[in-house]
Structure 1
Amino acid sequence: MFKPITIKDIAQALDLSPSTVSRALSDSYEINEETKKRVIEYAEQHSYRRNPMASSLRHGRSYSIGVIVCEVANSFFSQAIDGIESVAYGKGYHVIISQSHDAYEREVVNIQHLANRAVDGLLISMSAETKDFSHIITLHEQGLPIVFFDRIIDVFDTHTVTSDNKKGAQKATQSLIDRGFKKIAHLANAPHLSITAERLEGFESALRANNIPLNESLIRYCHHGGRIQREVEEAVRYFLDLDERPDAIFVASDRLSMGCLSAYNKLAPKAEHPAIAGFSNSDVLDLLQPGFTCIRQPAIEMGRVAMEMLIQLIESRYPVYEFENTVLETELISR
């Protein structure tokens, strides 16, 4: 039977006290460098891993972080998770990832499950269907540190990390206008999401700057965030049935961009496809539509910043009353 090496085993092998070994592994200033080196080298050679249960009992922490995203397969979120993990593991925390699949019920169950597992904090990107935030507010009131990233809410004060959605949407829409398109539609995410309002604002701003009237009938919302492909196909069919079809579409998210291109490939011949620009961190979309112009968010950096903020909340010895709303720049990828 596998039996992991313990601090007592290391202490016995090196003729040190268990407390000395523990402090050496924690890089304590009380232990000289030579002893630290001996302990760390021996621990690495024998695959020592900190016992999370013991650490939890000693420090009152589980050293685990819960992360809620809509979908790990989404390129943006998989990249954000890379950033999250790079910081978490470097600080001695483990990450437990849950997917809401943009469903409110799944988000509630997953968040409650993570809380029951006594995670030290939560990183949350809201699902497209969530309008009732009571499940999150309750945990906040109970003292659980929570940080929001990408899709944020403002029901209580905490750190948030987003990208500049308005400016990104402006750049994407402007790229279509610069190519000569005038009848530009907008395929938007669920209307109550923070990113939806910001990206719509950027879309409208670009139209105004170029003296193009806003046509409300060319804006369609996907309340399930693209989780249900039928909903995306209905929006595309709506555009195809218009007397004056849009010659271009600004699409508000990675999943919607994929769904929109797939719907057009299914419902209309290539010659009838509009130009499309939108938010995407995936390189796959360029295979579906060569020349696809996209807004790329700094997903890895967003994950890093969000995790650093959460660990700051977790490890603070005093109540935190000042919070940061960090906004990161986007990049236009024009192929």
Structure 2
Amino acid sequence: MKHVTIKDVARAMGCSVSTVSRAFNDKYDIHPDTRKRILDMAESMGYRPNPIARKLIKQRSFNIGMIVPEFETAFFPKVIMGAQEVLQAHNYQMIVMQSNESWETELKNVKMLVDNMVDGLIISLSSEDQNLDYYQELLSRKMPIVFFNRVADELNASKVLFEDYNWAFFATEHLITQGIKKIVHLASHEKLSFAKNRIQGFRDAHYKYRLDPGPTLNCGFSVEEGERVAQELIDKNDIPEAIFAASDLSAIGAIKTFKRNGYRIPHDLRVVGFSESRLASYIEPPLTSVSQPTTQIGKTAAELLIKEIENEVSVPQTVLLNGRLNVRASSMPSIQA
């Protein structure tokens, strides 16, 4: 396939290459009518600007690297969609890689993107223990980076966060105000800042009502992890009145296991999840869950990154986004499934 060049357009118009170039770049010294005729001719010929030439002129790759921990839940794909919408509007391409919850893979991905001269990075950290030295090095070299969802407080970089503490507090309070006192929290990896905030919100909701917080049990993000922890509670005959899970998938795993063992949800045990997955409204009974503005998280991260690339901000920014609690039958017997 032959690509139409600026010389082809100039030849068709019977003018110089410099005239066509001035039309493409909307220079002041070209008549509007002439510019319009050139642009119309270029469009009819199927002309597309040479991206390599554009990158050389601007001294940018117009590529953005994005690294997420996993694709198993709907959370990260929705964030990616939001970021892509903003980046495409600013003529950036996005390269997405996933760490599979591995710090080693995450580091390899970051180095590969940097070696390929991306203009900036959008990152959500893996759940494994990390050495942050390479990120510190990149930041010291003024590499534009925005972290979201899973961040490291030690890094002085822009961040897009959710009000995890507040909504963990509200979700727990939703249970307590129904007279529930024995609540178990299925927590995700405690070293992650958002997990710490959810744990603290869970505990502080108890303190508000002069209750001792229930146990916080280590649980991952998967259905299988929720099933495992629920079965352990059943085996110990230590059944709570309610479960507040740090993820929808672990909440769903717990529901499946308790129902399989003859417990009725929500009559015998109430369950609240976090992150409003697609499955939340389809499981039986439908799952009460905290909804996060996933698409907006991606958009905000991309907007912050573009500002850093364009030197519109001189200090790192932190943006906190709000959510809502979608109450369904899993946590309230009065709601019909």
**Given the superposition, is the C-alpha separation of residues 283 and 179 from structure 1 closer, same or farther in structure 2, using an over 3 Å criterion?**
farther
Instruction: Name which of 314, 318, 335 aligns with 1:321.
Output: 314
In structure 2, give the amino acid aligned to 1:334. V
8 Å Cα contact 2:276-2:290 kept in structure 1: yes
In structure 2, give the amino acid aligned to 1:240. I
- Residue 253 of structure 1 aligns with which residue? 247
Work out whether 1:52 is the aligned partner of 2:51. yes
Offset at 1:143? 3.0
- Residue 279 of structure 1 aligns with which residue? 274
**Given the superposition, is the C-alpha separation of residues 121 and 245 from structure 1 closer, same or farther in structure 2, using an over 3 Å criterion?**
same
Offset at 1:286? 2.3
137-146 or 181-190: bigger deviation: 137-146
**Given the superposition, is the C-alpha separation of residues 115 and 213 from structure 1 closer, same or farther in structure 2, using an over 3 Å criterion?**
same
In structure 1, give the amino acid aligned to 2:309. I
Deviations 1:283-334 (A, max 9, x none): 22222232311111111111111101101111228xx532221101111111
Q: TM-score, normalised by structure 2?
A: 0.85
Equivalent pairs, count: 326
8 Å Cα contact 2:202-2:213 kept in structure 1: no
5-14 or 145-154: bigger deviation: 5-14
In structure 2, give the amino acid aligned to 1:312. K
SS across alignment from 1:284: helix
Give the Cα–Cα distance (whole angstroms) in 2 for the partners of residues 42 and 188 of structure 1. 61
- Residue 88 of structure 2 aligns with which residue? 89
8 Å Cα contact 1:146-1:158 kept in structure 2: yes
**Given the superposition, is the C-alpha separation of residues 3 and 212 from structure 1 closer, same or farther in structure 2, using an over 3 Å criterion?**
farther
- Residue 221 of structure 1 aligns with which residue? 218
> What is the RMSD of the two structures over their aligned residues, measured on CA atoms?
2.7
- Residue 211 of structure 2 aligns with which residue? 212
8 Å Cα contact 2:227-2:250 kept in structure 1: no
Q: TM-score, normalised by structure 1?
A: 0.86
Identity of aligned residues (%): 35
**Given the superposition, is the C-alpha separation of residues 177 and 143 from structure 1 closer, same or farther in structure 2, using an over 3 Å criterion?**
same
- Residue 142 of structure 1 aligns with which residue? 141
Offset at 1:160? 0.9
SS across alignment from 2:264: helix
Give the Cα–Cα distance (whole angstroms) in 1 for the partners of residues 117 and 129 of structure 2. 23
Gaps of 5+ in 1: none
Deviations 1:196-218 (A, max 9, x none): 01111111121122222113xx2
Give the Cα–Cα distance (whole angstroms) in 1 for the partners of residues 53 and 116 of structure 2. 15
Offset at 1:79? 1.4
150-159 or 110-119: bigger deviation: 150-159
SS across alignment from 1:123: strand
Structure whose alpha-carbon radius of gyration is higher: 2
**Given the superposition, is the C-alpha separation of residues 57 and 248 from structure 1 closer, same or farther in structure 2, using an over 3 Å criterion?**
same
**Given the superposition, is the C-alpha separation of residues 219 and 38 from structure 1 closer, same or farther in structure 2, using an over 3 Å criterion?**
farther
In structure 2, give the amino acid aligned to 1:332. L
- Residue 231 of structure 2 aligns with which residue? 237
- Residue 72 of structure 1 aligns with which residue? 71
Deviations 1:247-295 (A, max 9, x none): 2111112443444445556x63353773221212322222223231111
Q: Which has the higher contact order (CA 8 A, sep 6+)?
A: 1
